[in-house]
Chains A and B, each alone.
Chain A
């Protein structure tokens, strides 16, 4: 009871906040969820795990699920303890809520120059009856100098719930993190994820985020390029239908000279779905020779689908190359006819063209198994159509 009261008081961000203008969390407030209870026997959830071999850290209802996990190499510490630091996130109400409620999370620390291969991080949330539940996980991922890791993050669940994870990532000089995220929550759920990525000199962060699930989703990334020559790529795609609302928000702060950032976001919107893209590139005075690029493209598959795009550049350095753009379009009838004239049924032809639209954003995903998982998630999207 105490937790529920706290939730109500804490105040979810309202649309009066500039960064929440396009995403209305009142349906989430109305949900009035309770803290997700522990699931005693998690083995029945094995069927929900993504088909990826190798080490896997699984969390069920915000708690570690050792029965479903596969231990990573012992060099990588994967413990649960962390200290929440709400001060850092004061301006971000969802991160504040997370700090208030989160009790667990993964702590992944890759030592200097260690190639940690691929690690999968799974969040499953299960509402056992009709009472909506919430989970707040707080993960910390730190790569030492020159270390590399491919992290595949996967979120799914059952029933009505709110999943509000926060992930803090720090990349030491020359470290490289490839981060593939698949959000496949239930169609009744809410998913709001906040990522903080700090990059030091020469570090590389290469993310691809796929959003398919949730009634309302927001993926918010704050990347700070704090060392010379760092590189951040924040690609993503969201495929939405029905009444789904999906919001991809990012702030890329160029704080050091000679850094590059790339962002290509693809929105595929069917039914009455609504997509939001907010992208902001901030270039500090010291960040000379910044090279920033950002593109949001939307493919509207129905006349009722909508997209709101808000690209922003804030530049205080004088020698920079920054560009951004947004496009909105429909499937090209000429292309559709060409495929159909070759015997490809209309539904398959549409799927091919949508997949082609996503190609540019996906092609950077290097890990073959992760890519196959993405392909099958995208392929499966059509089955719900």
Chain B
């Protein structure tokens, strides 16, 4: 279970998150929607532990563990995964080496045995097949020269291999055509099980047709303004933020 209570955070003294309260019970998938600039990526970075954000109040617990006290890598080995809105290019780092190093670091931290190159390759090839990705993806440098869609799929591949217990997907659907979107959604759905939870950040109802959320939250101005069932996403799609009486909250999604 992820519990966020009264979370406030600033960037260079400018408040961005203004008191977030959000609970994602184990086994559930929640969606966050909200206008550009409302603080969605900031929330995901603060949860993952990126530098440059000052947490000024509140707490975050994952299954009781105080996430904010941990280094980013410790959060990852505690089971947190962030699919980046803008995946980072790593020239000179091969994707296979990257994935294996990440997997083995995570396994080591969890007290599991490391995989050798052969075991890893078997696992990675299976994951690639599930995501309809070509094997040569492993030979390329991480995200270097990848198209937007390939980068997003590479995020989902990492998630499939690392098998987190809590995943945050930050606009993983943006810029994907419908086929790629289905593949991404299948990747998430394949992980769905009673001990897996996720926070799916999206602009579009479209993704939520394939990853049906248990709850939908509307984030605006660094606060959760409204929460509801999947029908809330559809209402947003039809009438926009203005239609929900949220017109004062920055630019709209359209």
Contact = CB atoms under 8 A, between A and B. Distances in A.
Contacts of A342: 73, 76, 98, 102, 105-106, 158, 162
B51 A343 contact: no
A79 to B, nearest CB: 43
Contacts of A340: 49, 71-73, 76
Contact of B88 (A334, A352, A355, A359): A334
B92 A357 contact: yes
B84 interface: yes
Nearest to A351: B101
Contacts of B109: 343
A73 interface: no
Contact of A344 (B73, B82, B87): B73
A343 B92 contact: no
Nearest to B107: A343
Contact of B106 (A337, A338, A343, A346): A343
A345 B73 CA distance: 6
A356 interface: yes
Contacts of B106: 342-343
Contacts of A345: 73, 105
Contact of A346 (B71, B75, B81, B101): B71
Contacts of B87: 338
A328 interface: no
Contacts of A358: 92
Contacts of A360: 92
Interface string A269-290: 0000000000000000000000
Interface string A348-372: 1100110111111000000000000
A256 B102 CA distance: 50
24 contacts: A333-B51, A334-B88, A335-B88, A337-B48, A337-B51, A338-B87, A339-B102, A340-B72, A340-B73, A341-B48, A341-B49, A341-B72, A341-B81, A342-B102, A342-B106, A344-B101, A348-B101, A352-B93, A352-B97, A352-B98, A356-B91, A356-B92, A356-B93, A359-B91
Interface of A: 333-335, 337-346, 348-349, 352-353, 355-360
